[in-house]
């Protein structure tokens, strides 16, 4: 059985094209929306382009939660070390531009459109999914932008994820939890095997996972591929509304006291994982203790406990898109204790355990405003009215639009309270647009910006 085939049939789940970003329509022709398991299409596309993804070193990160944070930390540290770094992440909040960054900046639309034209005949021939096409474009863009290194985040799973065509110099698996079970399997062991599929022969792999089943799978797969598996130790530190402080003991840089704007105990683990993994970088990618400190201090992940102030009112936007994420959000809110009343503006996808997710937030929220984000695919839209009777919340409102949801959340929170926006990427992205807080990575850059 090769990595390009699936061990068992899976249902055809239509994930849809993300949002209503007009740039996506300009870059790509009509593409299938269904997840198409396998690496063969992506490999053939890249081979026809001269295998651009093999022209630069890659750091590859997967896992259920936290992989985007680790990717951002890696990219910021390598940038602080003076390297030109490509960063490929998914999904995006507002614009496709966010997925492909070079030096922390999106590429000009003109370049994305120009380079995508080289892909068009190959996309017509191979009929890849949207994610496969986006991955091919990102890997091609990094080659043409002459990056010194690229950080690549797994989209879903790992073994058969389109990003798994890379040949990394370093790999990390953050954690494993139940998510996308219809595609990846209904047990931790099955999902862990999919995540472990990104391990490569002889390539060091780091993990922050603590679950014994996950660790057993990672240990087995690493041994079979003669890859050394390292466990990042649980760090000591402090969590506040403004970020985290972490103390680490490293072999390469000695004792490090780090500050990061990322928020939550889970982000302490992600920071420790990212830094310890960077100890395994080869000499051709030199990283100093100064670069680690600077990179950790600059690493921000839009939509991950993103704090925005609106006069005296506080908005917290966090894509807690599965049960583990919702529990991490609840833990963080309990630790940082933002001002009450706390109102949850929540929109979750139908294929998630949304009742359990909302229940996990009940101890830290006073009221709920429920919404179906308009950009969510039709097949994945939940029925918020089905949980409007949840006990423990002072008020539960169901709103028909993001504008009305924002207005209701403001009214429920009052001038001094906190609104917590969570659930799907679609929900957080639409709310950022509604608040006028679009991430800088989503904004167009001039073609002559360098």
pLDDT at residue number 6: 42
**β-sheet bridge partners, residue 256:** 248
**β-sheet bridge partners, residue 253:** none
Domains for the chain: give ranges and CATH numbers. 22-301 (3.40.1190.10), 306-435 (3.90.190.20)
Low-confidence ranges of the chain (pLDDT < 50): 1-19
Q: What is the pLDDT of residues 354-369, one digit of tens each?
A: 999 999 999 999 999 9
DSSP string for 203-218: --EEE----HHHHHHH
The closest of 86, 99, 118 to 24, measured between CA atoms, is 99
- To the nearest 10 degrees (0 to 180), the angle between helices 425-435 and 402-413 is 80
pLDDT at residue number 17: 45
Alpha-carbon torsion, ordered 176, 181, 187, 188, to 10 deg? 0
Q: H helices of 246-373, where?
A: 265-278, 289-298, 323-336, 354-361
CA distances from 313 to 264, 307, 340, 409, 436 (A): 21, 11, 10, 11, 15
pLDDT at residue number 14: 40
Q: What is the pLDDT of residues 388-432, one digit of tens each?
A: 887 678 889 999 999 999 999 999 999 999 999 999 999 999 999
pLDDT at residue number 375: 85
pLDDT at residue number 376: 85
Are 97 and 106 a contacting pair, CB within 8 Å? Answer: yes
pLDDT at residue number 10: 40
Distance separating alpha carbons of residues 177 and 192, to the nearest angstrom: 8
pLDDT at residue number 5: 39
Are 139 and 174 a contacting pair, CB within 8 Å? Answer: no
* Residues 6+ positions from 168 with CB-CB distance below 8 Å: 57, 58, 59, 60, 152, 198, 200, 203
């Amino acid at each position: 059985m090769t990595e390009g085939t699936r061990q068992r049939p899976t249902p055809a789940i239509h994930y849809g094209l993300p949002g209503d970003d007009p740039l996506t329509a300009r870059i790509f022709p009509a593409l299938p929306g269904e997840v198409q398991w396998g690496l063969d299409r992506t490999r053939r596309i890249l081979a026809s382009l001269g295998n651009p993804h093999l022209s630069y070193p890659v750091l590859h990160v997967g896992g259920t939660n936290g992989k985007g944070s680790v990717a951002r930390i890696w990219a910021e540290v390598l940038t602080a070390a003076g390297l030109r770094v490509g960063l490929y992440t998914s999904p995006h909040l507002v614009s496709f531009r966010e997925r492909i960054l070079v030096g922390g900046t999106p590429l000009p639309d003109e370049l994305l459109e120009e380079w995508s034209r080289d892909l068009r005949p190959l996309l017509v021939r191979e009929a890849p999914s949207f994610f496969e096409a986006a991955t091919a474009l990102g890997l091609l863009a990094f080659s043409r932008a002459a990056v010194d290194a690229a950080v690549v985040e797994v989209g879903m799973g790992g073994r058969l994820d389109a990003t798994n065509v890379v040949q990394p110099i370093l790999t990390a698996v953050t954690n494993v939890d139940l998510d996308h079970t219809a595609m990846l399997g209904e047990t931790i062991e099955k999902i862990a095997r999919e995540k472990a599929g990104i391990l490569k022969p002889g390539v060091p792999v780091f993990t922050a996972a603590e679950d014994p089943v996950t660790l057993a799978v990672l240990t087995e797969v690493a041994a079979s591929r003669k890859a050394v598996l390292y466990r990042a130790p649980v760090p000591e530190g402090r969590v506040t509304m403004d970020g985290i402080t972490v103390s680490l003991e490293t072999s390469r840089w000695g004792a490090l006291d780090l500050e990061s704007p990322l928020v939550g105990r889970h982000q302490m683990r992600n920071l420790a994982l990212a830094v310890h993994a960077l100890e395994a970088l080869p000499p051709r990618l030199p990283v100093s203790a100064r670069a680690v400190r600077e990179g950790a201090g600059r690493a921000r992940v839009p939509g991950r406990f993103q704090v925005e102030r609106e006069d005296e009112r506080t908005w917290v936007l966090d894509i807690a898109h599965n049960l583990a994420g919702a529990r991490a959000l609840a833990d963080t809110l309990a630790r940082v204790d933002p001002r009450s009343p706390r109102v949850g503006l929540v929109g979750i996808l139908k294929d998630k355990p949304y009742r359990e997710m909302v229940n996990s937030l009940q101890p830290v929220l006073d009221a709920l405003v429920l919404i179906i984000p308009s950009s969510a695919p039709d097949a994945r839209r939940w029925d918020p009215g089905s949980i409007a009777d949840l006990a423990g919340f002072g008020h539960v409102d169901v709103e028909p639009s993001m504008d009305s949801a924002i207005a209701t959340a403001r009214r429920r929170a009052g001038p001094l309270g906190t609104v917590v926006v969570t659930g799907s990427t679609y929900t957080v992205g639409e709310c950022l647009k509604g608040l006028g807080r679009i991430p800088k990575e989503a904004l167009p850059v001039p073609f002559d910006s360098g």
